[in-house]
Structure formats: structure tokens, C-alpha cells
Amino acid sequence: MKKNTPKTLGIGLLLSEKAEYGQGVLRGIADFAKDHPHCQFRVVSPDRAGIEAMMIWQPDGMVVMLHNPKLISRLLLLKKPIIYVCQPQNASNTICVQTDDLAVGRLGAEHLLERGALTYGFVGLSEGAYVQVRADAFRKTVAEAGNTCVIFEPLGKEPTAKECTALMQWLKQCPKPLAVMTCNDVCGRLVLETAKQAGFKIPDEVAVLGVDNEDPLSRLVWPGLSSISLATNTIGQRAAMLLHRALSGATVANPSTFIPPLGVVVRGSTRQLALDDPVLAKVIAAIHESMGSPLSVDDLLKLTPLSRVSLERRFRRLLNRTPLQEIRRIRIVQARHLLMATDLPLKAIAEHCGYAASSRLIEAFQQETGFTPNRYRSEMVRRRKDQFAAKA
């Protein structure tokens, strides 16, 4: 019997092609499209012109990244199914597949807390509810660790000269060393360049962390901008999948799906000792780069002219830990991110983190955190659900 040909579906994509977030979501949708040839996609800019194009085309459904309530109200006149890949402002009864911004703020704080700064700060742009969610999670995590956090009043979406001057004054006034998380890489590059103009050493006096991992822009600034990498491909795939289900008549049970970040891509703006000690910087970089392979202190010694005693003494003096402790610390940090951000089985996580067997990871993880990996994963899932339930 001949199979029924699926009905052709027109799907509008109101997504920015300029930023990494939108590009990543589009890559995920493109992966979905390979197995769904009956879906016809059209990409337009998420602005008034793009909305008017949709009004003319009349798609069956849309995947949308919009924050502006007025533009959203205009789009709703189409009365078509919409999946948002952001947190829209003042929009009720929405279905969203978006970044877990609580986890982003928490991860940013955890990464910067490892530097042991005196002051921690957050700088954001006035461009969406996600900025405040990330800032609140960052501030809470820093406070729980017993540290001071200062929030710079949000900059405009396109910061003025007056705002940039105020940012420079704020950077000068904050006690050093200062570790700053920004809402995204655009803001991160602005803070990084402003700190350099003010004469601060990066990252020794001011460390800066962005979000989105916009490559190559994050590598073109000097020093390179460390950034939190988001699972935008997954967001795009999930959004397309949910919209397809809705257009097929299925009920979408969960109105919101939150996707945790992938982890921190460490570059010069937060890399400890990147400027002060080139030998140690080389060793620490090697630890990061060998994440998926077994690594011993003997392997590190091959990279330096130092003896084991000299290397250990230098580690203790500058990091207050031994080379072996640093290897374990970096790998456990990576394991924590993978447990929280992925559904990978324990064996795969052990391999990603350079452990020969799951049992080795379990032993090291429990020593470091007090949790088994499986218990840690379930606890993080529970906390995330509790936080979103409280927020709702």
C-alpha cells in the first residue's frame, strides 16, 4: 500500500542570523529538517519587517526569538502555533525551549569563584528577561560562597559614550582583584576593552567572562574572552520537534523546556596566571587540553625544565594546591558540568574526563563533592525544578 505523503508545512523562523545564539538554533533546526523534507522553512529577521513578512506568507507555525511585547502582540494576530527559543517579556501561555539561565548564572559564578577574587560583579544589557535571571543566579551563588557581589546598572542595548564612561568608573571603584560575569559576549567584549583602556591587567586585576562563545570574535580580542557555551543546537532541534508535534495535532504537555549550558570555554580573560607565570600557564593549559586522556604529573614534567619538587612548590605557592590536585579539580569541574548539562552515561563522562573506568570517576567525585555522580545529577535536576517552580 502506498504511504500517504505528509502535508507540506510552512514554518517561519524569526531568528537572528548575526549572533551565535541564533546561528546555533538554526543549525539545530537544519539537523531536524534533514529528516523532515515536507517542512519548508523561511528565515526572517526578528523585527517589525520580519513580522510583516510572516503576515503576508501566513506560515503554519513559527519558531521565534523575540523579547519586545509590542512585536509579540503583532505576531500573535496570526493565530498560529509559536515556539519561543527565548524568554519573552510579558507573554502568557507561551511554549518555550530556552537556555536554563539559572544554570548559566550559577556556572558563571562557580567558574569565577575558582579564581579567588576579592570582588565579583555582573554587567548586563537591557535586552530581555534572561539578563536579570542570570544576574540573580550569579549573585545568589556568589553570596552563598560568602563573597561580595556588585551589579552594574544594565547598559542600553547599544551602550552610549556616557554609559561606557560610567562603566569605566565602576570598574575603577570596585576593589581588586575583580571577577566580572557579563550577560553575553557582546557585553563581555565591551567590559574587557573598557578594563584594558582603564589600565587594568587582564585577568590579574579584572577577569571577564561572557556567554554565547561567539567564535571567532571571542578569540580576536586580547586576551581571548572566556565564555559559557550554550547548547543552542539542542534548543533548535527541540523547538522544531515540538512545533512539528503541535502541527501534527499532538498536545505539548510541558510549556517550558530548559536546556543547561555545555560548559565554560576558558581563554585568557579568566585563565589563572596567564600573564604572570608562562611555565605554569603552559602546564595548566595542558591539563585542560588533555581532558579526554589519562594524565599524570610525570606527563606535566615533560613540558617544563622544572623538577617535580620545583613544580610542586610553584603550584603550592601560586595555587595553594599540588599539580595532582589541580588535575583532579579540573576534571571534577568538567564532570559536574557534564552531569548537569547532558544525559551522557557515567562511562562516557568518565572517558570525557580522562578516567580509565567509571569506578575511578565515582571515587574521585565522591571525595571532592561528597556525592556520587548519579546522586549529584539527580540533586541538580531536583534543585532546578524547585527553582523554576518557585519562579512560576
Q: Cell for 60?
A: 503554519
- The yes-or-no answer to whether 9-100+232-260 and 278-382 have a common fold is no
What is the rounded average pLDDT of the residues 340-355?
83
For residue 238, what pLDDT is reported?
A: 93
For residue 155, what pLDDT is reported?
A: 79
For residue 92, what pLDDT is reported?
A: 61
Domain 101-230+264-271 has CATH 3.40.50.2300: yes
CA distance 328 to 55: 56
**Pair 96, 85: CB distance under 8 Å:** yes
**Residue labelled with grid coordinates 524547585:** 386
Range in 116-120, 264-268, 372-376 the model is least confident about: 116-120
Q: Render 270-332 in DSSP notation, one character per residue.
A: T-TTTTT-HHHHHHHHHHHHTTTS---HHHHHTTSS--HHHHHHHHHHHHSS-HHHHHHHHHH
Single-letter amino acid, residue 176: K
For residue 94, what pLDDT is reported?
A: 80
Question: Per-residue pLDDT for 90 more than 80?
Answer: no
**Pair 187, 214: CB distance under 8 Å:** no
All residues at 6 or more sequence positions from 6 whose CB lies less than 8 Å from its CB, including other chains: 38
Q: Between 69 and 13, where is the model more confident?
A: 13
129-181 confidence digits (pLDDT tens): 889 999 999 999 999 888 889 999 887 777 889 999 999 999 999 988 899 99
Question: Per-residue pLDDT for 373 more than 70?
Answer: yes
The strand ranges marked E within 201-309 are 206-211, 226-229, 256-259, 263-265
Q: Cell for 357?
A: 573506568
195-248 confidence digits (pLDDT tens): 999 999 888 889 999 999 987 787 788 888 999 999 999 999 999 999 998 888
CA distance 263 to 97: 19
All residues at 6 or more sequence positions from 80 whose CB lies less than 8 Å from its CB, including other chains: 58, 59, 60, 61, 62
CA distance 256 to 297: 46
Fold of 9-100+232-260: Rossmann fold (3.40.50)
Q: Between 71 and 1, where is the model more confident?
A: 71
Confidence class for position 339, pLDDT limits 50, 70, 90? confident
CA distance 181 to 134: 9
The CA–CA distances, whole Å, from 41 to 124, 152, 201 equal 33, 40, 47
In this structure, the number of other CB atoms found within 10 A of the CB of residue 215 comes to 14
Domain ranges of the chain: 9-100+232-260, 101-230+264-271, 278-382
Mean pLDDT value across the chain: 86
* Pair type for strands 226-229 and 178-182: unpaired
CA distance 183 to 217: 16
Taking alpha carbons only, the member of 349, 327, 384 closest to residue 105 is 384
Single-letter amino acid, residue 136: D
172-201 confidence digits (pLDDT tens): 999 888 999 999 999 999 999 999 999 998
Confidence class for position 1, pLDDT limits 50, 70, 90? very low
Three-class secondary structure of residue 221 per DSSP: coil
Question: Per-residue pLDDT for 359 more than 60?
Answer: yes
All residues at 6 or more sequence positions from 304 whose CB lies less than 8 Å from its CB, including other chains: 279, 282, 283, 311
Question: Per-residue pLDDT for 368 more than 70?
Answer: yes
Confidence class for position 4, pLDDT limits 50, 70, 90? low
CA distance 292 to 271: 20
**Pair 15, 85: CB distance under 8 Å:** yes
Taking alpha carbons only, the member of 79, 38, 87 closest to residue 62 is 79
Three-class secondary structure of residue 82 per DSSP: strand
Q: Between 294 and 357, where is the model more confident?
A: 357
CA distance 144 to 38: 51
Question: Per-residue pLDDT for 5 more than 80?
Answer: no
Superfamily assignment of 278-382 in CATH?
A: Homeodomain-like (1.10.10.60)
CA distance 39 to 358: 42
- H runs (alpha helix) in 35-154: 48-57, 69-76, 101-113, 129-144
For residue 274, what pLDDT is reported?
A: 42
Range in 25-29, 199-203, 341-345, 380-384 the model is least confident about: 380-384
Question: Per-residue pLDDT for 18 more than 70?
Answer: yes
Q: Cell for 204?
A: 590579574
In this structure, the number of other CB atoms found within 10 A of the CB of residue 143 comes to 13
All residues at 6 or more sequence positions from 117 whose CB lies less than 8 Å from its CB, including other chains: 147, 177, 178, 179, 207
